[in-house]
Amino acid sequence: MRSHDTAAPAPGGQHHGGTTMSREGHQGDAAPAGDLAPEDAPARAPEVAHAHPAAALRKAAVGRRGTADPVRALMHRHRELCERAVDPLEIAAGLEAHGVTDRTAARYRHRDVFSLAEELFARVPAVAGEPAATGPAPARDVTTRAAWSLRALLPGAACLATLVALGLTDGVLGGDARLAIGSAGALLALTGLVLTLRTGPLSARPGAGSSGAAALCACWLLGYVVYGDDLLHQVLSGGPEGPWTLTPAPLLGLAVAVAPAAWCAHLFALHAHRRLHGSHALDEFGAGARPLLFGVVAFFACALAALLYLARLGFGTGGSPAGAAALGMLLLLARLLTVHGFPEPAATGLAAACAMEAAAPALILAGRLPGLDAVARPVRALVEAAGPGVVPVLACGTAALGLLITAVLALSRASAHAAP
């Protein structure tokens, strides 16, 4: 049985203290005859029904709606949403996802979408179903947090152990044995990453997971961090001649950064949900969610920079730390969008960065054809001025900036934080 503390909406759709009226208390007097059948539906909050006298309810309903009932059409249009909602906030988020804004709510004689959602929640009876589980909230479940935190640490731990083992066995074991060690470590790191992306705060909503194309683009971007600089250098010098030099430090920093990324996603979802329950208007929630997003992104940027610096100290200075940092920010923003139900822009951002990185060596190779030398000149000039590491910086940095703008617009909406 779902219930919450409620209060009758005042005439004119005024919203008092962010509280809501129970459905059972409102529907008996506000709903027109023949509209719904509350006697056949389970009551939502019988414990607060006595707090709303029939005369006060009738007076409030008539004062707001008069003889006409502008909410009835909206109520029938979104009846399934209202029947299955566990609180008015879920209805408000669903209405926002369908394009209903605070300005639209004024046509229904309500101040904002939250006030309109409260009336819909009170008037539409809940559908009968299995009672919800009453276990501890995930945000406060220490065991759950410890479990996904350990899974998030697995990719970094696997990469670190593999690099240490390869360093200790250099000149001791043969090439086949070292290849086996590297393959086992890569498989373990990949397993930990998959587990982290399927459970915990980095897991996507059901039916909104990352596409296969997005996963392939992410693999390309990670591979370019390891081999890209040497590949571009060989292409510029007349190659590629191979084999390419491995630069493991950036990859190690990114692998260890999976743990702070999971915590950033957890903190953002937790505080956004709390702010949603404390807001009384969509604009109010958006104004509080945007600084929260910027704070989470800034915190991850600082943690990622520190991890990449430590990785360079321990495993050499190869690769582009700025490019790895830009890639880390891109991957975090793409995952945040996917987690909150926006996988399409996330995949687009990853594909754009992948295309820009692939275009650099492709243009240089195309410039070797007769009459196409001008095609390779911009890339050559750029690399000569800033080095081969400028390519991932521009590619991932531009895509990350685009996803940041998208995230500010998308994740500041209440519908992005409603329960699926």
CB-based contact 305:254 (threshold 8 Å): no
* Phi, psi for 239 (deg, rounded to 5): -80, -150
What radius of gyration do the chain's Cα atoms show?
Answer: 28
Q: Where are the beta strands (DSSP E) in 61-190?
A: none
Dist CA 366 CA 302 (whole Å): 39
Those residues whose C-beta lies under 8 Å from the C-beta of residue 58, and which sit 6 or more positions away, are 29, 30
Tell me, rounded to whole angstroms, the distance of Cα 80 from its chain centroid: 26
Q: Left (φ > 0), alpha (ψ -120 to 50) or beta: where does 3 sit?
A: beta
Furthest C-alpha separation in the chain = 90
- What's the DSSP call for residue 128? P
Place of tokens 């687009």: 348
pLDDT of residue 86: 62
pLDDT of residue 85: 65
- Asked whether the bond before 70 is cis by omega within 30 degrees of 0, the reply is no
Tell me, rounded to whole angstroms, the distance of Cα 113 from its chain centroid: 24
pLDDT of residue 179: 86
CB-based contact 45:3 (threshold 8 Å): yes
Neighbour tally for 372: CB within 10 Å: 12
Tens of pLDDT, residue by residue, the chain (420 residues): 444 443 444 444 444 444 344 444 444 444 443 344 444 444 444 433 343 444 444 444 444 444 466 777 777 777 777 766 666 666 777 777 666 776 776 777 776 677 777 777 766 766 544 444 433 444 456 788 888 899 999 999 999 999 888 888 877 777 788 888 888 988 999 999 999 998 889 988 665 555 678 889 999 999 888 888 888 888 888 877 767 777 888 999 999 999 999 999 999 988 888 887 776 666 777 788 899 999 999 999 999 999 999 998 888 777 778 899 999 999 999 999 999 888 899 999 999 999 999 999 999 998 888 888 888 888 888 888 888 889 999 999 999 999 999 999 988 887 777 654
CB-based contact 244:227 (threshold 8 Å): yes
Is the whole model's pTM more than 0.75, yes or no?
no
pLDDT of residue 51: 39
pLDDT of residue 404: 96
pLDDT of residue 4: 43
Closest CA to 325 of 304, 355, 309: 304
CB-based contact 316:300 (threshold 8 Å): no
